[in-house]
Amino acid sequence: MTKQEEVLLKALIAMIQADGVIAPEETGLLAQVLNRMEMEPEDIAQAGNWLTKPQTVDTDELRAAFSDPKEREVVTSLLLELAGADSNVDHQEITLLNQLVTALSDGPS
């Protein structure tokens, strides 16, 4: 797994965990992302392990990992999709989403 993939997965997992409820719709979407990324089985297992432990996101690391504006748009779209996957976006999710999208919107690192 590349550093960029690790940063992305930890951000997505942090979004899934933000409201304290890991919904099937969220894990289903994560599985789709892992499939699209063509992750190795050990990387998928690592993502599953991260899902069981609270994840934090270093916004500077996120910004540095995705310096290309098009990549930032894709990551932002994934975060938005995950936040609403269970049809319930609560305060913790909105707060985290705001932090992550702001980090991705700050321009080049």
Convert the pLDDT of each residue in 23-41 to its tens digit: 999 999 999 999 999 999 9
Range of the domain at 100: 3-105
Q: What is the pLDDT of residue 106?
A: 63
Q: Which residues contact 95 (CB under 8 A, 6 or more apart)?
A: 18
Res. 60: pLDDT tops 50:
yes
Closest among 50, 53, 71 to 62, alpha carbons compared = 71
**Three-class SS of residue 87?**
coil
Q: Which CATH number does the domain housing residue 22 bear?
A: 1.10.3680
Q: What percent of the chain has pLDDT over 70?
A: 96
Overall domain count for the chain? 1
**Tens digits of per-residue pLDDT, 44-56?**
999 999 999 999 9
Q: What is the pLDDT of residue 89?
A: 85
**Three-class SS of residue 28?**
helix
Mean pLDDT of the chain: 91
The per-residue b/e assignment along 69-80, b for 16 or more CB within 10 angstroms, e otherwise, is: eeebeebbebbe
Residues 79 and 97: beta-carbon distance below 8 Å: yes
Query: Where residue 6 falls among pLDDT bands split at 50, 70, 90?
Result: very high
pTM of the entire structure?
0.90
